[in-house]
Amino acid sequence: MRDLTLTLVQARQAWEDKEANLRRYDTLLAGLGPTDLILLPEMFHTGFSSAADRLADPWPEGPGLAWLRGTAARTGAAVYTSMMARADGHARNRGVFVEPDGTVHVYDKRKTFGLTGEDRIFTAGDRETIVAFRGWRIQLQICYDLRFPEIVRNRLEPDGTPAYDLLLYVANWPARRALHWRTLLPARAIENQCWVAAVNRVGEDGNGLAYAGDSVTIDALGQAGWCAEHEEVVVTRTLSRAALEQTRAALPFLKDALDSRAPRAAR
């Protein structure tokens, strides 16, 4: 068992400007100390735009993945974020987890945001992605997925261990619905007996929407360490593996919740 050190990059994104965003992240990450994993906001180098026809990177070419691979190699840390990508003729809001050795894991956002028409532009994914990294099993998620607990319900594997230990969210979550963000994230940690780490952007986008940030790490008991609202910050924290295992041992709720026995019929 080992701890995992994680860095939240709560950034102010430039609207639909890939070069400006990549320069900003380079500046924010300059002088970064040792860390295992870096989280960047959703659609990290464009902001949450609908202009997939001109902004989606061809997969796996394009500046987004190249920058992520270079950053992971340079820092010795994995990087997780999402980006517009075009693959197999479809535009995707694609979660990308890049390991320091260049290995790439992909998660396509499963719940596209109908309120803004994301569902008409981006093809939704149809499967989960759990990454094994440095002794941790990590479930990848993107923004709107947070509203759908059924797609991340933790479960016990045949050997009796939970399917994952850490749930990641990268987001462009508007400030006017910040209460939902601050409510649902602790719920996901408690009900799945896992660590949760989530990063959101700050500033205002090209549609005039404001973002508060509220990036956070939350333990399996729901105890949260929120980042400052509306501030561009880079925060590094360590997630305790021992604390996670102690919580699961003392409160074996997953076993009870995931008991597959059929309910008895009423008599």
Show which residues are catalytic.
42, 109, 143
For residue 149, whether the previous peptide bond is cis, meaning omega lies within 30 degrees of 0, is no
Reference 130, options 194, 223, 69, 85; nearest CA is 194
Q: Is residue 67 within 8 Å of residue 40, measured between CB atoms?
A: no
Work out the angle at residue 239's Cα, subtended by the Cα atoms of residues 236 and 242, and round it to the nearest 5 degrees.
155
β-partners of residue 7 are 38, 236
* Alpha helical stretches, state H, the chain: 18-29, 52-55, 63-75, 118-121, 178-192, 241-250, 253-257
Token output for 106: 């992909």
In the chain the first and final C-alpha atoms are separated, in Å, by 47
